[in-house]
Structure 1
Amino acid sequence: MCGSSLTRAPGVLRCAERHSFDVARQGYVNLLSARSRPPLADSGDMATARAEFLTAGHYAPLARRLAEHVADRLPAGDGLVVDAGAGTGYYLGAVLDRLPAATGLALDASVAGLRRAARAHERIGAVGWDIWQPWPLADGSASAVLNVFAPRNPAEFARVLHPGGVLAVVTPTAAHLAELRTLVAMLEVHEGKLDQLDSSLAGEFEPAVRETLTVELSLSPDDVRRVVAMGPNAHHLDRGDQRARLAELDQLAEPVSATASFVLSFFRRAGG
């Protein structure tokens, strides 16, 4: 609203211009007004599906590998780790477990996600914000930024990371959950995503390492419904016969075998 620094008092954040933002009883602060909230923020059902799917451990290998890489690149193990599009805070919590001296900030537009992110780890602060807009963070204030299956804002990545800071981006490959496409309608992963990522970061970031991770999954009908309902596919459930196809999954006699396929890309902020 005014760009002034915020200070914390019991139950509220305030600035010198007397703007104030209440700390919700669940522990998050929403800096978004109703008019500035993005239209496609995760719903309560999406946040619940994601929490249940991730808690079941299906993507635990990804969380573990992400945390290992970030910890390796922050030898001091401290500073601020920002998760841009944090969802329920699952991946940020895993990273903080590997960095006992670091603190985390979960940025997300979904109130349902923020409620969970605020409780995902004792060192997470959760803030409601639109990732596409300039972030409510000081220049050079972060040691690392995570961006896991979320919108990317390269200009803000560069602004909030200090020189030498770490950017970790996780994207799906074209093979991600391909087996499920015979059962339900899934959005395609477009070719060229990595080229687009590298191009968007050129000049401000230096590539460090890139790794492909494949995880073999055994999914129950409920797991399949959760993985559809927790991401962008959830915004298209009313198209065609999607809901009917999801209901028919209960007729499957065996768990569904599927392959989760991710690319983990790590960059260093130029100038460090």
Structure 2
Amino acid sequence: MDPRILDRLRCPVCGEPLGLATDAKALRCPRRHSFDIARQGYVNLLTGRAPHVGDTAEMVTARADFQAAGHYDVISAALAAAASRAAADFGAYPLVVDAGAGTGRYLGAVLAALPDAVGLALDVSKPALRRAARAHPRAAAALADTWQRLPLADASTAVLLNVFAPRNGPEFHRVLDPAGTLLVVTPDTDHLTELVSALDLLRVDPDKADRVAASLGGHFTSVSSAVHRTELTLTRPEVATLIGMGPSAWHTDPTALGTRLAALPEPVRVTVAVRLDVLRPR
């Protein structure tokens, strides 16, 4: 693991700094708490059993395929631009953390735009972390429950990404540098709107923006908020991949979905609409 990342990690049990074991197969703290490094490259920083396992291997594969086709590059571009502005005032090797990183695609895009930065992907899904560990040469990955205390030093992070993922306001505030920036991406009300009715998918909560603000209330001040939109032209199999990578994958009957998909005229035009909120610690 890159020492510039390792220096900012902390033991999830006692909060002491972590170092690489002599056999390079684990991280250990001075109190001898030990955390294995998987052969796929990520380190397991969970303490006890996680209350959930995150995205399945099938969901992660669907997401990787969909992202690789460039369909969500509008999100990557918006994050990279915002992160470049946010990290401009930091010195050498600012740390970018993606909390709920999934495949690491967005973290990789941000690091590509920040040649002096290093990155850490945090997720509770092992299939996701197997990909995130390879997302960028300057990135590392760790198995961690972002609802719990994050395995990071206080004020260690320059930019924190949170894309379609749970938000832990107190912990985000603790690990961010006072001059750092939180970038939160959430679906806007018309995100995938053409598919919601046609395929009976989960709808975006109309109060989503208010719930995001409430989850971070008291810890952050809004700097800006902007909606980024694009229209996709998809085949039916690509629509199936899109559905399979998101929350509707847990709630949609496969047989009924197949019937509805077969009735869609091709090509399928789909709106991507996401809100990017830029926030600073209070």
TM-score normalized by the length of structure 1? 0.92
Counterpart for residue 45 of structure 1: 58
Q: CA shift at 1:251, angstroms?
A: 5.9
Counterpart for residue 196 of structure 1: 211
Q: Return the alpha-carbon distance in structure 1 between the equivalents of residues 259 and 124 of structure 2.
A: 30
Counterpart of 1:182 (choices 197, 202, 211) is 197
Kept in 1, the 8 Å contact 2:169–2:217? The answer is no
Amino acid of the residue matched to residue 25 of structure 1?
R
What is the aligned residue count?
Answer: 266
Q: CA shift at 1:52, angstroms?
A: 0.3
The reply on whether 1:87 has 2:99 as its aligned counterpart is no
Classify the secondary structure of the residue corresponding to 1:101: coil
Classify the secondary structure of the residue corresponding to 1:200: helix
Counterpart for residue 65 of structure 1: 78
The reply on whether 1:155 has 2:170 as its aligned counterpart is yes
Q: Return the alpha-carbon distance in structure 1 between the equivalents of residues 53 and 204 of structure 2.
A: 19
Kept in 2, the 8 Å contact 1:38–1:109? The answer is no
Deviates more, 1:95-104 or 1:190-199: 190-199
Counterpart for residue 160 of structure 2: 145
Kept in 2, the 8 Å contact 1:183–1:245? The answer is no
Classify the secondary structure of the residue corresponding to 2:173: helix
RMSD of aligned Cα (Å): 1.7
Amino acid of the residue matched to residue 36 of structure 2?
D
Counterpart for residue 35 of structure 2: 21
Provide structure 1 residue ranges, at least 5 long, that are not aligned to the other structure.
none
Gap change, CA 1:61 and 1:199, over 3 Å in 2? same
Classify the secondary structure of the residue corresponding to 1:116: helix
Gap change, CA 1:81 and 1:19, over 3 Å in 2? same
Sequence identity of aligned pairs in percent? 48
The reply on whether 1:6 has 2:18 as its aligned counterpart is yes
Q: CA shift at 1:25, angstroms?
A: 1.5
Provide structure 2 residue ranges, at least 5 long, that are not aligned to the other structure.
1-12
Kept in 2, the 8 Å contact 1:87–1:113? The answer is yes
Q: CA shift at 1:194, angstroms?
A: 1.2
Kept in 1, the 8 Å contact 2:201–2:252? The answer is no
Moved over 3 A (4+): 250-253
Q: Return the alpha-carbon distance in structure 2 between the equivalents of residues 173 and 74 of structure 1.
A: 26
Q: CA shift at 1:62, angstroms?
A: 1.4
Q: Return the alpha-carbon distance in structure 2 between the equivalents of residues 260 and 154 of structure 1.
A: 26
Q: Return the alpha-carbon distance in structure 2 between the equivalents of residues 167 and 246 of structure 1.
A: 39
Kept in 2, the 8 Å contact 1:7–1:15? The answer is yes
